[in-house]
Structure 1
Amino acid sequence: MSTLTAPSRTLDRPAPLRVQTLINEDLLSTMFQPVVQLDSGLIFGYEALVRGPVGSALEYPDALFAAGRREGLTVELEMRCALQALKDWRGQKLAGKLLINMSAAALASVVAQDQGQGGLSLCETLGLRATDIVIELTEHERVADIDSLRCAISYLRRQGVSIALDDFGDGRSSLRLWSELQPDLVKIDKYFTHDLPAHAEKLQTFRALLQLAETFGAQLVAEGIENAEELRVLRDLGVAYGQGWFLGRPSRQGQREILTAARDVLASNDIAVLPELRRASSNGVTAERLMMEAVSVDEETTHEQLLRLFNEHEQLHAVAVLNAQQQPVALVDRSQFINRWAKPFFNDLYGRRACTLFANPTPLIVDADTGIEALTTVLTSADQRYLREGFIITRAGRYLGLGTGEQLVRSVTEARIEAARHANPLTFLPGNIPISQHIGRLISSGREFVAAYADLNHFKPFNDEYGYWRGDEMIRLVARVASAHCDSQRDFLGHVGGDDFVMLFQSDDWEHRCEQIVERFNDLARNLFDAAALEAGGIMAEDRHGDLRFHPCTTLSIGAVRIRPGSLQRAEDVATAAATAKRHAKHEQLSVYVMSS
């Protein structure tokens, strides 16, 4: 019995699409995405985004340029994309600037070819103006010859072409390039834009970049804007231009106007609630800033020699004892040493003995680069001898000088006071400075807003009765409840200090929010009283005059004032008006009191 076997057949597979084919057969096309002026909502220009054949493996730029690198056609592909962008731009007759992406290598090739033809001949052939072209420099990490790049850019500028630095801050771009090339535009990577309203550190980065832009004479373009909150923050920061899907998506025809939702944000006089850093920095203050240069002694120094040293240096509060490697091993406190020396027979018994005999063998030693915040732990340590003796400051273990306990306490206190002006240490809500800044921005916006001042009733008796720990918990409760009922994108909540809070409303339903805050707080605050107080409806405690009397359970009052455009010109006046409204609310025993400015 024989078995029949079908003849084998190889299926023909289509050859993979090649970049060279796309170039030869003119299969590339261009999409245009708008770049928008954030102060006016007008379109500044369009970025040209290359596309391969629709539905193919090379349709999108990442795959297209990866294939181009494999075929050794990177520069040729870039030049072809630029040519296609110019042709498509002419066909669409779009207004504004055309932004074209090019690497340094491709840019050099274009300039070399163009110089041989005596000018931007392609633009002239297509009937385009060089002044309408912006070259976005990409792939910054591959720029090896900055001098040659600078020469190429100088040539383009003489023709009227503008220069942009693309994707600044993506981990590859160079601050040196910004300084060397002096671009007209700097496009900030979308990482910094994404979720910007929730990240104070990104906000600070934008502020720093705006200062750099002013220094170098450039304008910023924020990439990747995806929602109204991001757009509002960038507009209020003063970023000149923006780009992203919330403003307009790429299309072959190019949008003539920005999307409606974005236009509404830019036209609105609502201002953004800018995220605040939870803890203010201590301005870089380190232990070295507290240091005083002071002579030291070695381990063989006698008490007699140490006495002469103290007599020669009357300002010395202590002396560090060092080993042969200049590392501190002990600290001698001046006052303690003098007291011992004054005792009968001390000189006879110990005068020629080493000074380490009665020295502190475990002094406080801190590195010169230790920050003030880290030094605050010293203030609460069990060993408080540093207040009298001071402490030793070292670098890499070697002696540098001494610090005093008085200096440390003063510096930590100053740092905490400064921090509290920016962020309250109990609730981490913005403090006086951010509150005043936000009021100033609201006044400048020309819109009506509401300033509300919240304060606790009968808080002091509660605090005296139950202690500061439970008092702090009640203050934090105010912060939690108010935060929950404020719109984080439109309403600003700040903590002045103690039990005083400020709310700056842009929400139309601000009065309802205030009522909810009071109602919710009054309900939850009862949980902080014991059963006997709840049954009695309050507690017996001394009033502010020291007289014992009955105080009802703690409640919240809010005084609010409508600030109409032009009615008040200074943040201090707004704060005063809100405080006046609060006093009316407390005096008249009202939950919410409203007045007009």
Structure 2
Amino acid sequence: MTTITSLPPGRTQERPAPLRVQTLIAEDLLTTLFQPIVQLDCGLIYGHEALVRGPAGSALEYPDALFAAGRREGLTVELEVRCANQALKDWSRQKLGGRLLINMSASALTHALRDEQGSGGLFSDEAYGVSPSSVMIELTEHERVTDIENLRRAITALRRQGVGIALDDFGDGRSSLRLWSEIQPDIVKIDKYFTHDLPAHAEKLQTFRALLQLAETFGAQLIAEGIESAEELRVLRDLGVTFGQGWLIGRPSSEGAVEALAAARTVLASSDIAVLPELRRASSNGVTAERLMMEAVTVREDASHEQLFRIFNEHEQLHAIAILNAKDEPVALVDRSQFINRWAKPFFNDLYGRHACTLFANQTPLIVDADTGIEALTTVLTSSDQRYLREGFIITRDGRYLGLGTGEQLVRSVTEARIEAARHANPLTFLPGNIPISQHIGRLLTSGRGFVAAYADLNHFKPFNDEYGYWRGDEMIRLVARVASSHCDSQRDFLGHVGGDDFVMLFQSDDWEQRCEQIVERFNDLARNLFDAAALQAGGIMAEDRHGDMRFHPCTTLSIGAVRIAAGTLHRPEQVATAAATAKRHAKHEQLSVYVMAA
């Protein structure tokens, strides 16, 4: 039975008054949760961050809504001080060890510590039975710090009492590097954006590396926030980040934690190392047009062909001469070989000797700014207008002439830069090259765990490449990369491309041998699609061998040589590489799919 209560005519249901921050403060309705922070080198709890909560189920339960309401009521400072008091009071009840991290804005902190009465005894000795040396203030930057002097004085006063200072959410666009330098915090908390999906983003990894260098420079330690996966935790541990915080380690609770969650403990106790994401390096390696510049003689627009000939005659190594206007701006370029050819023709000197040198000059030369990167100039190498390779180009700064560059210098610099880049990432497969491979082997050796180094190579690849051309040859090499990538655990197994058809796999997976067999079987099956029907029917192709003799070559297959590297048996990356190459040679010589040996 349903009872319906009707209101008198003209009356409406009264809504309850909205909850106010003033009420929460006056009636002591705020509570504190504690989220653990762990030391990544040993897994021990370093401390807890205090997180305020309003009444459960209310509109002001969570901090964002709570502090927004505090700002509307003009109670920002009072609310922050009350939250800090509540955190100290609740912390004292829990009897947890380690540090207590309390969030405060710069303005609230300076206001609260302006004088002893303003502080309310908040950070006095043994407030609520909590020693100041166990407290750390997390300076939140939700507003730009405008009064750095007052902030510095407040921090100095806190440090005299033993209170530590942390900088919160560094990197979220509000905290500044300048503030880090100004206040010299003991700890810097790195925003969770950089932690999220870290193993898949090489640029985030590089950011952490840069921040670690800054932390060493400034004498600080880092806390990585927002750790939610085992892979993120493993990468951060291997990078050398000191502390970590996040739901994988421990969720906020009123009791805090005496140890990290089991999933985090497993990662931190494991000797497995992370496979760090590789950043594709620009092949220019930072080289600019100015690095290619050679100083060269110039002439003005009114210079004659006779004057030009004398200059070329005096400077035999000069490949070209730039023509400048009165403002030292280049207007044309004269190529040496073309000019000398014209000069050598009968009557040229008689007809044109006294004419201005711009008459036969290239009045649309290639002009580049000195700061132009090498990659931007590579279009010259493939341009249909090959004058630029012969004549070279003019280098300027702010439109004024600096010098000349040659096509030969450009070709050499691009080649050298790309060779260097290929050592970091193979340009065909984009897999890590020789340097990252060696670095990863070094990390495995240092970790003290055993692993397997496998070397993969194609059988009868040269005849295939000669028969079908480089395009299909590249397709086969990319096929090796795709198949191997799909059968390696991206978080535990490292795949690198040495060059050509040689690949290296560094396994931490226990089922590495099964993975190798699956790679060979899958590749051999898919590689057949790259042969034509006649070759498939015959089982191979007729082609020249390495001695130039025509003979039959079976269809291309893959061989893998693997070597078990026990802890302490080898000590240098080159020893591991040599052992893996030896295993590969055995696999190919004995025509085996997978050959395994011990180091």
Q: TM-score range by the shorter chain?
A: over 0.9
Superposed CA deviations along residues 315-356 of structure 1, whole A, max 9, x for unmatched, are 432111234554433210123223322333221111111112
Q: Is the 8 A contact 1:279 1:428 kept in 2?
A: no
The separation in 2 between residues aligned to 1:549 and 1:11, in whole angstroms, is 97
Opposite residue 504 of structure 2, the aligned amino acid is V
> Relative to structure 1, is the Cα distance of residues 83 and 281 closer, same or farther in structure 2, using a 3 angstrom cutoff?
farther
Which residue is 1:294 aligned to? 296
Q: Is the 8 A contact 2:195 2:225 kept in 1?
A: yes
The separation in 1 between residues aligned to 2:567 and 2:424, in whole angstroms, is 27
Opposite residue 204 of structure 2, the aligned amino acid is K
Q: Is 1:81 matched up with 2:83?
A: yes
Superposed CA deviations along residues 483-542 of structure 1, whole A, max 9, x for unmatched, are 011110110000000000000001111111101100010011111111111111111111
* Alignment counterpart, residue 107 of structure 1, candidates 90, 96, 109: 109
Q: Is 1:26 matched up with 2:31?
A: no
- Of the structure 1 ranges 358-367 and 49-58, higher mean CA displacement relative to structure 2 is found in 358-367
Q: Tell me the CA shift for residue 405 of structure 1.
A: 1.3
Q: Residue 112 of structure 1: SS of its match in structure 2? A: coil
Which residue is 2:218 aligned to? 216
Which residue is 2:179 aligned to? 177
Matches within 5 A, 1:357-372: 357-372=359-374
Opposite residue 227 of structure 1, the aligned amino acid is S
Q: Residue 49 of structure 2: SS of its match in structure 1? A: strand
The separation in 2 between residues aligned to 1:377 and 1:73, in whole angstroms, is 62
The separation in 1 between residues aligned to 2:12 and 2:142, in whole angstroms, is 47
Matches within 5 A, 1:451-470: 451-470=453-472
Superposed CA deviations along residues 103-151 of structure 1, whole A, max 9, x for unmatched, are 1111112222338889866442422211101111112642001122112
Matches within 5 A, 1:158-557: 158-280=160-282, 282-323=284-325, 326-557=328-559
Opposite residue 566 of structure 2, the aligned amino acid is R
Aligned length: 593
Q: Tell me the CA shift for residue 451 of structure 1.
A: 0.4
Q: Residue 266 of structure 1: SS of its match in structure 2? A: helix
Q: Tell me the CA shift for residue 158 of structure 1.
A: 1.4
Opposite residue 288 of structure 2, the aligned amino acid is T
* Alignment counterpart, residue 53 of structure 1, candidates 34, 52, 55: 55
* Alignment counterpart, residue 149 of structure 1, candidates 128, 136, 151: 151
Q: Tell me the CA shift for residue 185 of structure 1.
A: 0.4
Q: Is the 8 A contact 2:124 2:132 kept in 1?
A: no
> Relative to structure 1, is the Cα distance of residues 93 and 358 closer, same or farther in structure 2, using a 3 angstrom cutoff?
same
The separation in 2 between residues aligned to 1:412 and 1:464, in whole angstroms, is 27
Q: Residue 480 of structure 2: SS of its match in structure 1? A: helix
- Of the structure 1 ranges 98-107 and 332-341, higher mean CA displacement relative to structure 2 is found in 332-341
Q: Is the 8 A contact 1:31 1:250 kept in 2?
A: yes
Q: Residue 428 of structure 2: SS of its match in structure 1? A: coil
Q: Is the 8 A contact 1:31 1:254 kept in 2?
A: yes
Q: Tell me the CA shift for residue 555 of structure 1.
A: 0.3
Unaligned runs of at least 5 residues, structure 1: none
Opposite residue 216 of structure 1, the aligned amino acid is F
Which residue is 2:4 aligned to? none
> Relative to structure 1, is the Cα distance of residues 118 and 488 closer, same or farther in structure 2, using a 3 angstrom cutoff?
closer
Q: Is the 8 A contact 1:273 1:492 kept in 2?
A: yes
Which residue is 1:590 aligned to? 592
Q: Tell me the CA shift for residue 67 of structure 1.
A: 0.3
The separation in 1 between residues aligned to 2:97 and 2:123, in whole angstroms, is 21
Opposite residue 452 of structure 1, the aligned amino acid is A
Q: Residue 303 of structure 2: SS of its match in structure 1? A: coil
Q: Residue 496 of structure 1: SS of its match in structure 2? A: strand
The separation in 1 between residues aligned to 2:298 and 2:326, in whole angstroms, is 12
- Of the structure 1 ranges 247-256 and 293-302, higher mean CA displacement relative to structure 2 is found in 293-302
Q: Is the 8 A contact 1:451 1:561 kept in 2?
A: yes
Q: Is the 8 A contact 2:123 2:132 kept in 1?
A: no
Superposed CA deviations along residues 43-69 of structure 1, whole A, max 9, x for unmatched, are 100000000011110000000000000
- Of the structure 1 ranges 393-402 and 115-124, higher mean CA displacement relative to structure 2 is found in 115-124
Q: Tell me the CA shift for residue 393 of structure 1.
A: 1.6
Q: Is the 8 A contact 2:392 2:407 kept in 1?
A: yes
> Relative to structure 1, is the Cα distance of residues 9 and 119 closer, same or farther in structure 2, using a 3 angstrom cutoff?
closer
Q: Is the 8 A contact 1:287 1:372 kept in 2?
A: yes
Superposed CA deviations along residues 538-596 of structure 1, whole A, max 9, x for unmatched, are 11111111111110000000000110000110100001110000000000000000011
Q: How well do the aligned residues superpose, as a CA RMSD in angstroms?
A: 1.7
The separation in 1 between residues aligned to 2:117 and 2:144, in whole angstroms, is 23
> Relative to structure 1, is the Cα distance of residues 119 and 524 closer, same or farther in structure 2, using a 3 angstrom cutoff?
same
Q: Tell me the CA shift for residue 408 of structure 1.
A: 0.7
The separation in 2 between residues aligned to 1:223 and 1:112, in whole angstroms, is 31
The separation in 1 between residues aligned to 2:378 and 2:309, in whole angstroms, is 33
* Alignment counterpart, residue 567 of structure 2, candidates 565, 568, 579: 565
The separation in 2 between residues aligned to 1:158 and 1:387, in whole angstroms, is 68
Q: Tell me the CA shift for residue 396 of structure 1.
A: 4.5
* Alignment counterpart, residue 128 of structure 2, candidates 126, 129, 134: 126
The separation in 1 between residues aligned to 2:118 and 2:29, in whole angstroms, is 28
Opposite residue 448 of structure 2, the aligned amino acid is G
State the TM-score, normalized to the length of structure 2.
0.96
* Alignment counterpart, residue 9 of structure 1, candidates 8, 11, 19: 11
The separation in 1 between residues aligned to 2:574 and 2:265, in whole angstroms, is 33
The separation in 1 between residues aligned to 2:27 and 2:146, in whole angstroms, is 33
> Relative to structure 1, is the Cα distance of residues 26 and 15 closer, same or farther in structure 2, using a 3 angstrom cutoff?
same
Q: Is 1:41 matched up with 2:43?
A: yes
Opposite residue 308 of structure 1, the aligned amino acid is R
Q: Is 1:65 matched up with 2:67?
A: yes
Q: Is the 8 A contact 1:120 1:130 kept in 2?
A: no
The separation in 2 between residues aligned to 1:582 and 1:116, in whole angstroms, is 74
Opposite residue 24 of structure 2, the aligned amino acid is L
Q: Is the 8 A contact 1:99 1:133 kept in 2?
A: yes
% identical equivalent positions? 84
> Relative to structure 1, is the Cα distance of residues 77 and 117 closer, same or farther in structure 2, using a 3 angstrom cutoff?
closer
Unaligned runs of at least 5 residues, structure 2: 1-6
Superposed CA deviations along residues 419-461 of structure 1, whole A, max 9, x for unmatched, are 0000001100000000000001111111111100000000011
* Alignment counterpart, residue 96 of structure 1, candidates 72, 95, 98: 98
The separation in 2 between residues aligned to 1:81 and 1:408, in whole angstroms, is 63
- Of the structure 1 ranges 153-162 and 120-129, higher mean CA displacement relative to structure 2 is found in 120-129
